[in-house]
Amino acid sequence: MKIRRFNEAGMLQFRQVIADRRQAAKAKRAVDPIPAELLQSDEYTTETRFLLPDAPAAFKTKLDICNAVFKMIPQGDFEAMREDAPLWSWLAGWYFDEITMGRKKLKEERAYVAMVDFEGSYRHLILGPCFVATTAKDDPERVRILLYDDPTTMNEVMVQLGSYYDYLMNPVVQGVVRELYWDPSRARTKRGSGGKLPGSPRRLMDYLHQLELNYDLRSISVERLLSFLPEEFDKYKSPF
């Protein structure tokens, strides 16, 4: 079967279905699946050239989503397809159960209904991780901290970095974030990196704003940028 994209009527209907599902979840009622007719009928969708895999999907992490999507839509085609909101929305509908923990954890509308602007797109549960992955094609490990956790979780590092397009796209900033907040021994973020306390990702963003007045954050090395950070970040500089 091929991946499909919603047409105008499909997008409207999908948005309504998502609103209904979210309302059911909020009212603690059973959340129905996305109707097959909405996903497969010609009334609401059209076929693309990309093939869906035969095997069922199992997305334990955002990285699993990226790996699956890039098998269907090669990374070389990603840039051209990035703004195809009806396609990404359809994928979210197709994999709805997988990205909602079996329809138990529903998020805001833009997590499923794709938007083309950056702010909206990075919060989409299929498009967002893929977009992040393409920013580090040369060294995927650099953004593992943003992709290691389950599809429904938006960790604080991602929330902060994702709020600033310049920083999210910047390999040096990605490297600094990884150095500070990634714990390779546990393959997850370091303890305490989720808060607002001194040394937190939120504070890092404030310091980056200051540093970029005087430094080109793409020319500077990761080590040098780390050396400019004040004492409050020291506890994150060493692994623990």
Partner 1 sequence: MSVTRIKFLQRTKILQQDAHIEVSKPGPRIYFQARLQLASYQLPQNARIYIEAHQLMERIRFDLGTVGMPNPVKALEISSLKGTRVSFDLAVVDGATGQKVASADNLKPVVADGDAARTQNSLLPVDTTKGLDGLYWRVDYSEKDEEGMKDAPVLLVDQEASSSTDLMSDASLRVAVLPSAMREILGRVLLVDEHRYEPDGKDWRNCWLRFAARIAGDEPPSLDVPHHEVDQAREECDHWIQRAVELFCNKHEFLKQLLASKSIA
C-alpha angle 29-30-31 in degrees, rounded to nearest 5: 110
Q: How many residues bind partner 1 (CB under 8 A)?
A: 31
For the chain, state the CA radius of gyration: 19
**Least distance to partner 1, CB of residue 1, Å:** 27
Q: Which of 43, 166, 186, 237 binds partner 1 (CB under 8 A)?
A: 166
103 vs 202 by CB, closer to partner 1: 202
Instruction: Find the part of the chain contacting partner 1 (CB under 8 A) among 100-108, 145-153, 185-193, 215-223.
Output: 215-223
Query: Looking only at residues 191 through 210 of this chain, which bind partner 1 when binding is defined by CB under 8 A?
Result: 198, 203, 206-207, 209-210
Is residue 238 close enough to count as binding partner 1 by CB under 8 A? no
The answer to whether the beta carbons of residues 84 and 124 sit under 8 Å apart is no
The region of 25-33, 79-87, 97-105, 151-159 touching partner 1 under the rule CB under 8 A is: 79-87
Are 120 and 114 contacting, i.e. CB atoms less than 8 angstroms apart? yes
Which residue, 59 or 233, has its beta carbon nearer to partner 1? 233
Among 39, 87, 130, 220, contact with partner 1 (rule: CB under 8 A): 220
Using rule CB under 8 A, residue 156 touches partner 1: no
Q: How far apart are the first and last CA of the chain?
A: 47
d(CA 20, CA 18): 5
Q: Which is nearer to partner 1, 219 or 238 (CB)?
A: 219
CB of 151 closer than 8 Å to CB of 124: no
Paired tokens of 90: 């359809």
**Which residues lie across from 46 on neighbouring strands?**
5
User: Of residues 85, 91, 127, 136, which one binds partner 1 by CB under 8 A?
Assistant: 85
Q: How many residues does the chain have?
A: 240
Tokens of 159: 């929330």
Choose, by CB under 8 A, the member of 1, 19, 101, 116 that binds partner 1. Answer: 116
The residue behind tokens 């954890």 is 105
Cβ(132)–Cβ(168) under 8 Å? yes
Point out which residues bind partner 1 (CB under 8 A).
79, 83, 85, 115-120, 165-166, 169, 198, 203, 206-207, 209-211, 213-221, 224-225, 230
